[in-house]
Amino acid sequence: MKKQSLSPSNLSSTLAVISAMYNLMINSVISIYAREYVGATVAEVGLIFAAWSILSMFAKPIVGRYFYGTRLLYAPAAASILLSASAIGMALSPTPLVLALFRVFQGLGNSLLWAPTVTLVALLAREGDRNKMLGRSSLAGSVGMVIAPVIASVNVAFLGMRSLFFSAAGVAVVGLPLGLTLIQRKEKFRDRLEGDGDSNLSLRDIKKTLSMDSFRMAFSAHLATASIFGILSAYGTLHARDAFMVSEGQVALFIFGYNFIVMLGRLLLIRILGRVRKEMILVLGLINGICMLTVMTLSDSYLPFFLAFSVAGLSHSFVFPVGTMIIAESSDRRRLIFTNSIYILAWDVGNLLGPTISAPIAQSFEIASSFIIAIIVVACALSSVIIFSKKKAKPSLTLIG
């Protein structure tokens, strides 16, 4: 029993819960906290919010370049230390500049946690169990996304907003003993990890990674779903607030509904793996995004808008884990950590580009017009997935099993 509790799958699933809870707890209040507790201006609030994504975006290729082989085992422990220290620093920040600095450390901690954890699962799981383990890890993360808003709401209601950062630090600290457990088992994992990276990763290696059809297919789909999430986060609830006069409590239900569907979708994903081709699952996820965004654009009442907003989470639930499976199957194990780091980079890029591109549209026309931008982005990704999947295998996009 003890051996099972310390399995790479269980450890990575626990780390996924910690990562999802930590980030959602902080990101759900950081803008209000920066303005009302630290005295940031509206412009400074935007920079503080973006500092996390920007640093995370630039750090991921570096992590992919240098955390290879048994070095991967040190990343979760280092991430836990950085994330807990960042949360405490944010709680005690006296100025917007200091708050932004600790947001930068938060981004670095995320870079050390996300891609290495996914890569460890892919490298340490048995060949026949790999996809199932990756699916379970993603499911665990979605459970954390559902739990976090509840904890945040209770925490803020009874202890105040500043205390939420200390609670997030406590969540991050839980990952430290788990990370240390991985380090202690280094010799056991050495044979399976040694040689899976290269300290002299060349420009040719990087170019080869980025030119793989399977990588481009997964990256484009992940970028599109990240754009959906970014646009919905920036303008979805704002449109609901303005168009349907929803209360603050109802606005909170949107985030819960989205995350709840993500969790249900990943439960469904585990059931259909092996029965439906992964390329088809990507296609279904993207088609779902287009359909739900279209309903949101055309909705003139609260209920259909809320349902479409929530069910859009199904795209999120399918695309990310399936992309990691496709990459794990097609990428050279020696370059897997780098490939995963660049793949996950799509989340940061999409979260930045989606709201940025749609901002002038939302400003010049109705806020709901921003959803049209998301539809266009997802349609382009859908075309890419179909094209690259046809090049990858024939016949393409067929059911199996």
Q: Which domains can be identified in the chain, with CATH numbers?
A: 1-197 (1.20.1250.20), 199-394 (1.20.1250.20)
Residue pLDDT, tens place only, 318-336: 999 999 999 988 877 777 8
Q: Rounded CA gap, 218 and 388, in Å?
A: 9
- Three-class DSSP category at 251: helix
Q: Which residues contact 191 (CB under 8 A, 6 or more apart)?
A: none
Of 59, 41, 62, nearest to 51 by C-alpha is 59
pLDDT for residue 282 is more than 70: yes
Q: How confident is the model at residue 132 (pLDDT cuts 50, 70, 90)?
A: confident
Q: Which residues contact 18 (CB under 8 A, 6 or more apart)?
A: 80, 144, 171, 172, 174, 175
In this prediction, residues 159-186 reach a mean pLDDT of: 89
> 401 pLDDT band (50/70/90 cuts)?
very low
| Residue that is written with structure tokens 């202690």 in the block | 184
Q: For residue 32, how many other CB atoms are within 10 A of its CB?
A: 12
Examine the pLDDT at 378 and tell me if it is beyond 90: yes
- Report the predicted TM-score, pTM, of the whole model to 2 decimal places: 0.80
Q: How confident is the model at residue 385 (pLDDT cuts 50, 70, 90)?
A: very high
**pLDDT given at position 201:** 60
Residue in this structure with the two tokens 């059809």, named with its chain if needed: 213
What's the whole-number mean pLDDT along residues 224-246?
85
CA 388 to CA 216: how far, in whole Å?
A: 8
Q: From CA 135, how far away is CA 355, in angstroms rounded?
A: 28
Query: What local confidence, expressed as pLDDT, does residue 249 receive?
Result: 60
- Of residues 333 and 283, which shows the higher confidence score? 283
Local structure of 202: helix, strand or coil = coil
Sequence-ordered list of residues with C-beta below 8 angstroms from that of 266, at least 6 positions apart, any chain: 135, 138, 139, 142, 317, 321
Per-residue pLDDT of 196-212, as tens digits, reads 444 556 667 777 778 88
Enclosing H/E stretch for 132: helix 130-159
Please state, in angstroms and rounded to a whole number, the distance separating the CA atoms of residues 154 and 177: 27
Give the model's confidence band at 397: pLDDT under 50 very low, under 70 low, under 90 confident, else very high: very low
